[in-house]
Amino acid sequence: MTAILLDPQFLEPFMSLFNSSKSRTLLSVLCSLLMGLLAIPALAGGEVNIYSARKEDLIKPLLDDFSKQTGIPINLVTGKEAELLQRLQSEGINTPADLLLTSDAGRLAAARQAGVLQTIQSAALEKHIPSAYRDPEGYWYGLSVRARPIIYARDRVKPGELSTYENLAASDWKGKICVRSSDSIYNQSLVAGMIAHHGEAKTEAWAKGLVANFARSPKGGDRDQIKAVAAGECDLTLANTYYLGGMVTSSDQAEQVAAAQVAVFWPNAMTTGVHVNISGAGVTAHAKNRDNAVKLLEFLADDKAQRWYADVNNEYPVNPAIPPSATLKAWGEFKADTLNVAKLGELNAEAVKLMDRAGWK
């Protein structure tokens, strides 16, 4: 009824009360705006609206399963992390989004700092997700774990030559390392983790040494680095394991061949452990379907979904009760860094500045 009363067509007979065409135009515009604002809650009835920085094929099957089991429909919008965060900030209270899903703890921390997430408490989430993989105050929760070890050429590097991330700055590796650019959130989080463990001064010295050992200027994604190692452009790289897992199981023969020419080394076994990060999600500050969003988070942390992350996405389950896939098991066990991944976001700005000073392009 309210929408009808505000419809410019309904108000047409009353337009004569306004003396100028400008006044009538302004009234029409105001009516349209009010209709839009009043219609926003209608977007939200009994559903879950997601803004996701993860590719659709990496999450859609799980969302479809949730809808099938619960009868709750899901609307999915995908995009880049920065764009989705900006969208949430711009929309404010009028956002249709109930859940923000991202591929890195640093992005989730940035969302919290921007004020677009709300804290939630859930016994199921606390049961299934270790404290190191969730925000200490409940603003976001990890849903899958990814490790970022050293990946090396089988025919040119002996495992005994490798030890720690810190050792990659040694002159022995000059001209032998390929990495992604400093724009990569994965590399930013790795550096943030090192700052947390060693402080800025030592980490900056390490970063300068690492840059001096680059075989080429940083370019491409993690798969490109692995392919470069296989092609002999460099001898080793740093990459998230699920990228290598995707190459191992790829339908692309060239990717399978490249993956077969490299191996995984788990660094820092005697010190801080392997750098790990998460994909995760948080309920938006102005969620219209808060309870449904929490239900979805709990579903994604439960056994069935966690097995899917492991077997299909080649990611490590965040739920420690669920074993990794056969592909991941083949690379052996490793000691993971126990640093709460929230620190990776807290130290992101410092990490970016440090990488810039070190000449990491």
Question: Which pLDDT tens digit goes with each residue over 65-91?
Answer: 999 999 999 999 999 888 999 999 999
Cβ-Cβ contacts under 8 Å for 97 (sequence gap 6 or more): 49, 50, 51, 77, 87, 88, 91, 284, 287
Which residue type sits at 263?
A
Provide the pLDDT for residue 275. Answer: 97
Residues 176/235, Cβ–Cβ less than 8 Å: yes
Longest dimension (CA), the chain: 87
CB 341 within 8 A of CB 273: no
Query: How buried is 17 (Cβ within 10 angstroms: 0-12 exposed, 13-18 middle, 19+ buried)?
Result: exposed
Residue 46: predicted pLDDT: 86
Residue 123 CB partners (closer than 8 Å, separation 6+):
none
Please state which of the ranges 19-23, 104-108, 128-132, 216-220 shows the lowest mean pLDDT. Answer: 19-23
- Looking at the domain assignment, is residue 20 inside a domain? no
Segment among 58-62, 71-75, 177-181 with least mean pLDDT: 58-62
**Is residue 126 domain-shared with residue 157, that is, in the same domain?**
no
Q: Give residue 33's pLDDT.
A: 39
Q: How many domains does the chain have?
A: 2
DSSP for 46-92, written as a single string = T-EEEEESS-GGGTHHHHHHHHHHH---EEEEE--HHHHHHHHHHHG
Residue 296 phi/psi, 5° resolution? -65, -40
Looking at the structure, tell me whether residues 110 and 231 fall in a common domain.
no
Let me know if residue 2 belongs to a domain.
no
CB 63 within 8 Å of CB 76: yes
Task: Let me know the angle formed at the C-alpha of 154 by 224 and 276, rounded to the nearest 5 degrees.
Answer: 60
Whether residue 215 lies inside any domain: the answer is: yes
**Do 156 and 271 reside in the same domain of the chain?**
yes
Task: State the chain's mean pLDDT as an integer.
Answer: 88
Evaluate whether residue 258 is within a structural domain.
Answer: yes
Judge whether residue 60 has pLDDT over 80. Answer: yes
Which CATH number do you get for residue 110? 3.40.190.10
Residues 138 and 153 in one domain: no
* CA torsion through residues 73, 79, 81, 86, sign: negative
| pLDDT exceeds 60 at position 16 | no
Higher-confidence position of 24 and 294: 294
Q: In the chain, what percentage of residues exceed pLDDT 70?
A: 88
Are 287 and 203 contained in the same domain? Answer: no
- Which one-letter DSSP state was computed for residue 321? T
Q: Are residues 282 and 271 in the same domain?
A: no
- C-alpha–C-alpha distance, residues 25 and 63, integer Å: 44
Q: How far apart are CA 79 and CA 336, in angstroms?
A: 30
**Quick check: 8 pLDDT over 70?**
no
Does residue 286 share a domain with residue 271?
A: no
**45 pLDDT higher than 90:** no
pLDDT band (50, 70, 90) for residue 104: confident
Is pLDDT above 70 for 155?
yes
Q: How many Å apart are CA 64 and CA 73, to the nearest integer? A: 8
Q: For residue 8, tell me if it sits in a domain.
A: no
CB 98 within 8 A of CB 264: no
* Local confidence band at 55 (pLDDT 50, 70, 90 cut-offs): confident
* Distance in angstroms (rounded) separating the CA atoms of residues 227 and 244: 10
- DSSP 3-state assignment of 114? coil
Tokens 């030890």 found at? 163
The reported pLDDT for the residue numbered 32 is: 41
Name the band, by pLDDT with cuts 50, 70 and 90, for residue 103.
confident
Say what the pLDDT of residue 23 is: 46
Most confident among 1-10, 162-171, 307-316 (mean pLDDT): 162-171
Burial label for 295, CB within 10 Å (0-12, 13-18, 19+), is middle
SS3 label, residue 250: coil
**Whether residues 106 and 54 fall in one domain:** yes
Distance CA 238, CA 275 (A): 10
Same domain, 136 and 155: no
Q: Is the pLDDT of residue 28 over 60?
A: no
DSSP conformation class of 337: P
Q: Are residues 253 and 290 both part of a single domain?
A: no
In a domain, 38, yes or no: no
pLDDT of residue 135: 94
pTM of the entire predicted model: 0.81
- Answer for the pair 49, 43: CB distance below 8 angstroms, yes or no: yes
Whether the Cβ atoms of residue 106 and residue 196 lie closer than 8 Å to each other:
no
DSSP 45: T
Q: Which pair of structure tokens corresponds to residue 242?
A: 């699920």
Q: Which domain holds residue 121?
A: 45-145+278-327
Residue 35 domain-assigned (yes or no): no
In this structure, the answer to whether residues 229 and 186 fall within a common structural domain is yes
The reply to whether 94 falls in a domain is yes
Residue 350 has pLDDT above 90, yes or no: yes
Task: Indicate whether 351 and 213 sit together in one domain.
Answer: yes
